[in-house]
Structure 1
Amino acid sequence: MTGFTVDGQVGAPAPRRRVPYCRSRLIGHVVLTVLSLACIVPIGWMYATSLRRPSDVYGSSLLPWPLSLGNYRHAAEVVPIGALLLNTAVVAALTAAGQLLTGLLAAYAFTAWRFPGQRLLYLLFVGTWLVPFQVTMVPNYTLLFRLGLLNTLAGVVIPTLCTALSVLLLRQHMESFPKDLLDAARIDGRSSWSTLWTVVVPNLRPALAALGIVLFINAWNEYFWPSLVLQQANSMIQLGLRGFLGGTEGNDWGGIMAASGLSCLPIFALYLILQRHIVNAFVHSGLR
């Protein structure tokens, strides 16, 4: 809006009012701060409890003092932490890699080609996401029993190599992929397989990294299926944590907090490594 002086001459533009905008930003920052604290405080409490002396494990201070590594030493004596973390990392990595591969191939097929019944097939494929795990649990367990894969890490991985979530998310990213590049690759004589790995995948690295860490975390935190397939407590970290609960002297909170803190470190390290790709995936997901 243009301002006017006293004698009627055109003056400098009148300043715009930014009070509502600043107020909305302030409210947004307050809400984000509260939500961040709600997420951070339990994690901080877990590490604070793990660093207390065993005699002070029920203390209420957020800053434990004096610091002690006794709970970590005790956790290492109760369960083989290193072996459990290694087994869990292998299972989570294979599961995430398998789901990424199958999701990538399926999403590319649904995007690059048009064929009769494509939409119906896609809806049926995504509809499997709505099927509760309890419905497929018994058939999968029976199949693993007949294949002799019970009590093995392969039995945990194989039934989870395909998920509708990866297909759904990758298809959304591929739908926004420039079709001109695909047409240029075909004109250049590239096969569909070569186009996928030399043209599509290099441009989907942020999306693949963001989806990969989500799938890895889901597989890392899975408890029910590994506990059903693996009868040995010292097989994966999720089952190893169960050994600190319900003992003859009650729940070992110091040991379980220390073991839980160690089990979170690989997730934190993975996020720090892929942080740039994850941020790029969220930034570019809104661009067309």
Structure 2
Amino acid sequence: MTKRFSIASVFRHGALVLMCVLAIVPLYWMAISSLKNESEIFTSSIIPLKPTLGNYTYAFTQMPIVRMIVNSFGISIMMTMLQLTTSLLAAYALVRWRFRGKALIFSLLSVTWLIPFQAIMIPNYVLINDMGLNETWLGIVLPFCVSTFAILSLYQSFQSFPGVLIEAACIDGLSDWGILTRLILPNTRSTVASLGIIQFINAWNEYLWPMLVTKKMENAPIQIGLKLFVNSDSNMWGSLMAATTVSCLPILLIYLVLRRQIVDSFIRFGIK
């Protein structure tokens, strides 16, 4: 039995090592390709034979990389804060208040979660275009200011909050805003923080809508800027790898600092 257990353990650890290698190799290849010159970039060498920083110099001169990274952070933070604010208010209203049509509203929210964004993308684009919000942060953020996933997640969390405490707060004369901000929110901050991390990552990885709204590099998030760079100069693969490597560094640093909270967020909400 011990031998069988050890064999199974070896297979499990071997599978984990294989998955780690498959995840790391593309990142490693991207990093070393950014240090290769044009004649070497298509070779199978696993290390740059003649390392050069020329790709980084060219990328920074041809692309507003810092501006695009700032755009990505600004858009992601704005989107996350708006989603958390609207979700907190909506979840609290659904849990705390009793009114006619509450079950219908909850059902409609659940149904909207099943509708893909591509189905409403064109009407959203027409609306944003008519409002003159193209090439702006607000034009990217506005269609995502409400998240059904966040509302339903906080709804489940608020439902488990002891109703006795809420009733005691009402007797003490605390308003609904006070109950939310001074009683419920401090006691559910771990859930809200975990949800915020998930929403930030989703906002950072958003690609299709920002690509539709922004056409200029200086107004685009970093992912769209990289695509525009490929379209403008498709032969400079070394510079593209350099720009991609730089774009990965901020989110990598955030992960290194908050890795425990990020993993806990994935576990809490069952996202892989």
Indicate the TM-score class for this superposition, using the shorter chain for normalisation. 0.7 to 0.9
1:277 — aligned with what? 261
Deviates more, 1:146-155 or 1:170-179: 170-179
TM-score for the superposition, normalised by structure 2: 0.85
Q: Would the alpha carbon gap of residues 224 and 278 (structure 1) be closer, same or farther in structure 2, given more than 3 Å must change?
A: closer
- 1:75 equivalent to 2:63? Answer no
- Would you say 1:220 and 2:221 are equivalent positions? no
Residues 284 and 58 from structure 1, CA distance in 2 versus in 1: closer, same or farther, beyond 3 angstroms? closer
| Deviation string, structure 1 residues 32-65 (Cα, Å, up to 9, x no partner) | 3333332222222212211323432223233434
Paired with 2:2 and 2:163, the residues of 1 have a C-alpha distance of 42
Matching residue's letter, 1:241: L
Q: Provide the residue aligned with 1:239 in structure 2.
A: 224
Equivalent residue number for residue 104 of structure 2: 120
**Distance change in 2, residues 1:127/1:77 (3 Å):** same
Cα distance change, pair 229–282 in 1 and its aligned pair in 2 (3 A): closer
Q: Deviations over 1:95-137 (max 9, x none)?
A: 1111111122222222333444333321211221221222212
Name whichever of 270-279 and 150-159 sits farther off.
Answer: 270-279
Distance apart, 1:90 and its partner CA: 0.9
Residue among 77, 82, 94 paired with 2:78: 94
- Conserved in 2, the CA contact under 8 Å of 1:80 and 1:234? yes
Q: Which amino acid aligns with 1:129?
A: W
Partner of 2:39: 55
Structure 1 residue 103 corresponds to structure 2 residue 87? yes
Overall identity of the aligned pairs, in %: 41
Out of 190, 211, 214, the residue aligned to residue 206 of structure 1 is: 190
Q: Which residue of 2 aligns with 1:191?
A: 175
Partner residue, 2:154 = 170
Distance 1:270 1:206, change over 3 A: farther
Cα distance in 1 between the residues matched to 2:169 and 2:81: 26
Contact 2:59 2:243 in 1 (8 A): yes
Give 1:163's aligned amino acid.
S
Once residues 252 and 71 of structure 1 are traced to their aligned partners in structure 2, the CA distance between those partners, rounded to angstroms, is 8
Partner of 1:149: 133
Whose relative contact order is higher, 1 or 2, with alpha carbons under 8 Å and at least 6 apart? 2
Q: Which runs of 5+ in 2 are unaligned?
A: none
Which of 219, 223, 236 is matched with 1:252 structurally? 236
**1:264 CA displacement:** 1.6
Instruction: Check conservation: 1:209, 1:278, Cα contact below 8 A.
Output: no
The 3 A distance-change label for structure 1 pair 280 and 134 is closer
Deviations 1:127-164 (A, max 9, x none): 21221222212221222222222222221111211121
The equivalent of 1:161 in structure 2 is: 145
Q: Distance in 2 between matches of 1:223 and 1:55?
A: 32
2: CA distance, partners of 1:171 / 1:163: 12
Deviations 1:208-250 (A, max 9, x none): 23322222222222222122212323322223212332456x4
Deviations 1:47-94 (A, max 9, x none): 221132343222323343443322111110111111111122111111
Choose which of 221, 226, 250 in structure 2 pairs with 1:266.
250
Change (3 A) 1:28 1:198: farther
Comparing 167-176 and 276-285, the one that deviates more: 276-285
RMSD: 2.7
- Distance (whole Å) between structure 1 residues aligned to residue 254 and residue 162 of structure 2: 30
Q: State the distance in 2 between where 1:183 and 1:65 align.
A: 71
8 Å contact from structure 1 (residues 217, 267) kept in 2: no
Counting matched residue pairs gives: 269
Highest CA radius of gyration, 1 or 2? 1
Indicate conservation of the 8 Å contact 2:37/2:50, yes or no: yes
Give unmatched runs, 5+ long, in structure 1.
Answer: 1-16
